[in-house]
Amino acid sequence: MNEKYPEIKINLLAVKENYRTICRLLVGGPIVSAMVKNDAYGLGAQRISCSLYEAGCRDFWVAYIQEALDIRNVLPPDANVYYLQGFCHTDLELLPANNIVPVINSLPEFNVVKNKGLRFVLHVDTGLTRLGMRRRDLDAILPNLAQEQILYVISHLANEYGGQHDWQQKRNFDEILAKILNVTCVKESLTASNVLNLDESFHYDLVRVGAFLYGIQGGGIRPLNVLTIKAKILQMYDVPKGTCIGYGATHVTDRKTKVAIISIGYGDGIKRQLSNVGNVLFYDSNKNLYKARILGNISMDSMACDITDVSSGVAVEGADAILIDDTYTINDMANAAQTIPYEILTSINFKSKRIKLTYVE
């Protein structure tokens, strides 16, 4: 591996501890399950799922059946694997053999599984207006539900901050549940990572936690950071006041400036919205922190930053520039880019052959 390649470390110990934190805070309450869709938000679903299983997790959610098959290949038989979207009739023969449970979102999907003796999850829309069974369709299938193996009825909140819309969705969910429970016995799930922001009545039987596991903060409880990204200084030079930097000449220096060129860019998944507003970090031997602002537009494979005020001997050619760590987290980067941390995380090109990726466990 080229020593100038960017480096990413994923801390599986921190992922486990974030899971255990949710479990401790909800002790005696709902089952805590894990959302590992989109390759565990890019972090590697197989590695993440195995670590979460070691931490006690037994319920895992993905988006598509291929994702479900991928993690089923590495998880023990007692793990429950559900997939949220994309169910079709060609999946039927794969489900019992692989112990995978589909989520049914619509009347046509229900018509495929009914009377097949399959276990499934029923998803109802309560106000997010995305996937999910609509009320008129639910009314149509109610007479058939007593003969089906429905493991959970689930929905998804639009906000998860305990506001008026959340409460309206909960009322909608409870009304739907009342109809279903008149016909058959089911378990329920409504909330995701921000469950800790909500009244206990939102907890139901199971919560589906994703973002919190991966260091994304959505409420008052701060998760452990799970990600470190660093890149090397490729070159350094001094430029006079009035020098244009980067494509489009979007930055012009307002003083004599020492510039460092860092070996990472938007081709590695670093958002261009960080151009001229984001920071990279440097640490001296005593762990003192220096922030260096990104200058100009981020390029595909590199970016420039201002190291004028970084202590002499700290920012040198070959030194590490930190983009994300325990001090400057994915949440901080998202704030700087004026986007959400989910987008930051899922944009990072973890599988690039020119990124040195390691797991801490």
Which is catalytic among the residues 161, 247, 256, 351? Answer: 247
Of 4, 59, 76, 32, nearest in space to 232 by CA: 4
Which of 188, 214, 240 corresponds to the end of one domain? 214
Please say if 247 is a catalytic residue: yes
Position 3 scores a pLDDT of 82
Residues 120 and 257 in one domain: no
CA angle 313, 315, 317 (to 5 degrees): 100
Taking the C-alpha atoms of residue 291 and residue 190, their distance in angstroms, rounded to an integer, is: 41
DSSP 195: G
Residues 208 and 240 in one domain: no
Flag whether 354 is in a domain. Answer: yes
Residues 153 and 60 in one domain: yes
Flag whether 222 is in a domain. Answer: no
Flag whether 139 is in a domain. Answer: yes
Flag whether 277 is in a domain. Answer: yes
Residues 117 and 203 in one domain: yes
Which of 186, 214, 242 corresponds to the end of one domain? 214
Residues 125 and 58 in one domain: yes
Position 73 scores a pLDDT of 97
The string of pLDDT tens digits covering residues 96-136 is 999 999 999 999 999 999 999 999 999 999 999 999 999 99
Domain range for 25 is 12-214
Residues 126 and 247 in one domain: no
Residues 83 and 187 in one domain: yes
Flag whether 2 is in a domain. Answer: no
Q: Which residues contact 187 (CB under 8 A, 6 or more apart)?
A: 151, 152, 153, 204, 205, 206
Residues 232 and 289 in one domain: yes
Flag whether 299 is in a domain. Answer: yes
> Where are any strands of DSSP class E within 210-316?
227-239, 244-245, 251-252, 257-262, 279-283, 289-295, 303-306
Taking the whole predicted model, whether its pTM rises above 0.85 is answered as yes
Which of 172, 188, 214 corresponds to the end of one domain? 214
Mean pLDDT across the stretch 225-249?
Answer: 97
Flag whether 263 is in a domain. Answer: yes
CATH number of the domain enclosing 117: 3.20.20.10
Helix, strand, coil percentages for the chain (3-state, nearest 5): 35, 25, 40
The string of pLDDT tens digits covering residues 46-96 is 999 999 999 999 999 999 999 999 999 999 999 999 999 989 999 999 999
The dihedral built from the CA positions of residue 329, 270, 62 and 162, taken in this order, carries a sign that is: positive
Whether 1 shows a pLDDT value over 70: the answer reads no
Residues 273 and 130 in one domain: no
Residues 50 and 193 in one domain: yes
Domain count for the chain: 2
Residues 183 and 237 in one domain: no
Which is catalytic among the residues 5, 19, 37, 170? Answer: 37
pLDDT classification of 193: cutoffs 50, 70, 90: confident
Residues 81 and 119 in one domain: yes
Please say if 290 is a catalytic residue: no
DSSP 10: E
CB 206 within 8 A of CB 168: no
Mean pLDDT across the stretch 262-287?
Answer: 96
Flag whether 330 is in a domain. Answer: yes
CATH number of the domain enclosing 337: 2.40.37.10
